[in-house]
């Protein structure tokens, strides 16, 4: 009688709830069957998908779970079902997976329902496993994210808004759509606030921030103007030699300081020297801007796109140096020769006059103003560069080395930090990076990057040489008309995917293709690279304007020459 009563009560409990639960506390008093379900959910590229919602069905009925079952950041999940004894292995256990911007999986049966163990109380534990690939879905979120990304590009290219404002509007709009329309329909959910924050690569932001401080302190020593003076002295009044030396110095300095900062420092000095020589300043400034982009390509810290690539792909300072320095100097040599020929008529018109008098005048105006601070700055800069070189062995992010150097320099030099933060930090640039990372992450979450990556894969047909050429030339041409920073931000997940699916790409050659194409391609027009925009802006403010087409005529063919040299280098040396 007692056994019958217990069975009736057990059945009443079982059928009085619409499903089963994942908690042992809700189990029947008697022995139970436990099903431990594990598995992973990946995207088509094989990367784990986080926050995939999982619904559990037992014999066709949905189990009402005390806690929502979702995948972890790696795409894995684990849940424990409690069922009446004897329900397993005969019960039909199914799982359904769903995530915004992905197709719902439909019900998938758990595999390998095998008994693992049985305890002293008669409870039996079974194991089940599911590995699943969720396919992308083209939803309204896809089209919204795509249009926002394109709109940001157009606004930047046309200079309708300041690029920081364009990126800010784009990022804010994506979040607003996600938390308004996206709350009513998952088809409109683009990116969560948490994912947007995680998308901001603080390694890039902190590295730029710290190097701005280092450069800001060094500016107070007059060292950059002194370098221009030395270039004039070495050239001894030879304008061709002066132009070549100034390009070389600009390239070398840009390899260790970002090229935008280098042009901000070099341009005013170049204009003064040009005026003294009665020479059109553009004939020196524009080749210097070109050289700054070439030199900046050689190292991890020389050009913002390289900082982004290095951080995303976990490439070290020495990875960039060993793979890019030689070809960058070959390209620099070719471009120096090109510009000496292109501007030869301007150089021939220069009024050199009395070289000795000119040198004396420049020595008085451009000299080291604080030798003690310069020595300290050089020591700290040298230590920082050394940390850049060994940061891979220390498993340390480059930004840590830069922050340590900036902090040490501020303490030792006793420079007013409030003044530094107000006048030397390019806050619009840093905010631009942060907002841009959010916009690109929204497009990636919605599936745009996968569509582009699959297109490149299909066109290349899995051939590494074709993929190298595609990325190099597409990056070069696109970066000439679109600021290379947002372009590279867009390409990072695409190249990351191609590295996984194209045989031989694990060597990293596709990253070098992206770096060379984006950094050197940015030389093609005045809007292709930030250093170009800065140089043109300074020249115009001082009464030397240049039109878009005039700049393009001057820069397009040397850009094509440098990218062509890179193509040969990648196909012959790197492959």
In this predicted model, what pLDDT tens digit does every residue of 67-111 receive, in sequence order? 788 898 888 988 887 877 777 777 788 888 988 888 888 888 876
Alpha helices in 180-222 (DSSP H): 181-184, 193-199, 202-219
- Note whether residue 68 is domain-resident: yes
CATH number at residue 45: 2.60.130.10
CA–CA separation, 532 vs 304, rounded Å? 13
Q: Starting from the edge strand earliest in sequence, which strands make up the sheet with 32-42, in order?
A: 76-84, 32-42, 124-133, 111-118
Same domain, 260 and 170: no
- Note whether residue 436 is domain-resident: no
User: Measured in whole angstroms, how far is the alpha carbon of residue 207 from the centre of its chain?
Assistant: 13
- Domain count along the chain: 3
- Note whether residue 357 is domain-resident: yes
Same domain, 126 and 144: no
Question: What is the chain's pLDDT, residue by residue, as a tens digit (575 residues)?
Answer: 444 444 443 433 333 333 344 443 444 456 777 778 888 998 876 778 888 998 888 888 887 776 788 898 888 988 887 877 777 777 788 888 988 888 888 888 876 566 666 766 777 887 878 888 888 888 899 999 999 988 987 887 777 778 789 889 999 999 999 999 998 988 899 999 998 998 888 887 888 788 888 878 887 888 877 877 777 777 776 888 888 988 998 999 888 877 777 787 777 778 777 877 778 888 898 999 999 999 989 988 888 888 889 888 989 888 999 999 999 999 999 999 999 999 988 888 877 666 677 777 777 777 788 888 888 888 988 888 888 788 777 888 888 988 999 999 999 888 888 888 888 787 887 888 789 889 888 888 888 877 777 777 788 787 899 999 999 998 898 888 776 777 788 788 888 888 888 888 888 899 999 999 999 998 988 777 777 877 777 777 777 888 878 888 899 999 999 999 999 999 987 66
Q: Where are the beta strands (DSSP E) in 75-200?
A: 76-84, 93-98, 107-109, 111-118, 124-133
End of a domain among 184, 199, 214? 199
Report pLDDT for 392: 72
Same domain, 160 and 123: no
In this predicted model, what pLDDT tens digit does every residue of 149-174 receive, in sequence order? 889 878 877 777 787 898 899 999 99
Residue 75 phi/psi, 5° resolution?
Answer: 90, 0
Same domain, 489 and 346: yes
Q: 528, 544, 477: which is closest to 293 by C-alpha? A: 528
- Note whether residue 386 is domain-resident: no
Q: Where are the beta strands (DSSP E) in 285-332?
A: none
Same domain, 314 and 165: no
End of a domain among 102, 118, 133? 133
Same domain, 545 and 526: yes
End of a domain among 90, 118, 133? 133
In whole angstroms, how far apart are CA 220 and each of 225, 373, 404?
A: 11, 8, 20
- Note whether residue 260 is domain-resident: yes
Q: Residue holding tokens 């690279």?
A: 529
Question: Collapsing DSSP states into helix, strand and coil, what is residue 57?
Answer: strand
Structure tokens at 358: 């000119």
Same domain, 129 and 152: no
Same domain, 88 and 181: no
Q: Which domain holds residue 171?
A: 140-199
- Note whether residue 372 is domain-resident: no
Residue 479 near residue 521 (C-beta atoms within 8 A): yes
In the chain, the largest separation of any two C-alpha atoms, in whole Å, equals 121
In this predicted model, what pLDDT tens digit does every residue of 316-348 receive, in sequence order? 888 999 999 999 999 999 999 999 999 988 888
User: Measured in whole angstroms, how far is the alpha carbon of residue 458 from the centre of its chain?
Assistant: 24
Same domain, 248 and 309: yes
- Note whether residue 390 is domain-resident: no
Same domain, 112 and 167: no
Q: 101, 114, 120: which is closest to 35 by C-alpha? A: 114
């Amino acid at each position: 009688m007692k056994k019958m009563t217990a069975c009736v009560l057990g059945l009443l409990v079982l059928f009085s709830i619409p499903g089963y639960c994942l908690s042992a506390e809700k189990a029947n008093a008697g022995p139970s069957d436990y099903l431990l379900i594990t598995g992973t959910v990946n995207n088509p590229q094989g990367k784990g998908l986080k926050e995939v919602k999982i619904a559990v069905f037992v014999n066709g009925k949905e189990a009402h779970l005390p806690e929502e079952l979702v995948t972890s950041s790696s795409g894995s999940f684990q849940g424990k079902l409690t069922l009446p004894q004897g329900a397993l292995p005969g019960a039909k256990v199914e799982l359904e997976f769903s995530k915004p911007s992905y197709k719902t999986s439909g019900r998938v049966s758990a595999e390998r329902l095998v008994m693992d163990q049985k305890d002293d109380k008669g409870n039996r534990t079974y194991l089940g496993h599911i590995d699943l690939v969720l396919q992308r879905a083209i939803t309204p979120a896809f089209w919204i994210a795509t249009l926002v990304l394109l709109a940001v590009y157009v606004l930047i290219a046309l200079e309708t808004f300041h690029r920081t404002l364009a990126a800010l509007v784009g990022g804010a709009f994506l979040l607003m759509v996600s938390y308004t329309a996206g709350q009513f329909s998952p088809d409109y959910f683009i990116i969560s606030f948490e994912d947007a924050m995680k998308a901001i690569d603080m390694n890039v932001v902190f590295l730029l921030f710290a190097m701005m401080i280092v450069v800001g302190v060094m500016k107070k020593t007059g060292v950059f103007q002194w370098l221009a003076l030395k270039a004039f002295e070495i050239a001894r009044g030879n304008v061709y030699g002066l132009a070549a030396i100034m390009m070389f110095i600009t390239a070398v300095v840009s390899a260790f300081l970002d090229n935008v900062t280098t042009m901000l420092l070099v341009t005013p000095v170049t204009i003064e020297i040009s005026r003294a020589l009665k020479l059109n300043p553009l004939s020196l400034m524009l080749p210097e801007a070109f050289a700054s982009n070439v030199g900046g390509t050689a190292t991890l810290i020389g050009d913002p796109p390289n900082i982004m690539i290095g951080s995303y792909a976990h490439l070290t300072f020495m990875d960039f140096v060993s793979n890019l320095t030689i070809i960058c100097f070959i390209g620099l040599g070719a471009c120096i020769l090109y510009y000496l020929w292109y501007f030869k008529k301007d150089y021939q018109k220069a009024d050199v006059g009395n070289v000795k008098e000119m040198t004396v005048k420049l020595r008085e105006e451009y000299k080291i103003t604080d030798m003690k601070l310069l020595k300290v700055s050089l020591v700290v800069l040298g230590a920082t560069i050394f940390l850049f070189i060994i940061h891979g062995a220390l498993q340390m992010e480059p930004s840590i080395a830069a922050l340590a150097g900036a902090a040490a320099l501020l303490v030792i030099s006793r420079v007013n930090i409030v003044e530094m933060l107000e006048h030397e930090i390019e806050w619009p640039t840093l905010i631009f990076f942060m907002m841009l990372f959010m916009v690109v992450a929204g497009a990636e979450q919605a599936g745009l990057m996968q569509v582009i990556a699959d297109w490149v894969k299909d066109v290349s047909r899995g051939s590494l040489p074709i993929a190298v050429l595609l990325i190099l030339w597409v990056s070069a041409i696109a970066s000439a008309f679109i600021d290379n920073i947002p372009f590279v931000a867009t390409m990072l997940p695409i190249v990351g995917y191609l590295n996984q699916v194209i045989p031989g790409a694990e060597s990293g050659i596709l990253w070098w293709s992206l770096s060379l194409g984006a950094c050197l391609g940015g030389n093609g027009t005045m809007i292709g690279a930030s250093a170009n925009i800065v140089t043109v802006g300074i020249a115009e403010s001082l009464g030397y304007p240049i039109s878009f087409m005039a700049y393009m005529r001057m820069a397009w063919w040397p850009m094509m020459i440098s990218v062509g040299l890179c193509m040969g280098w990648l196909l012959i040396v790197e492959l």
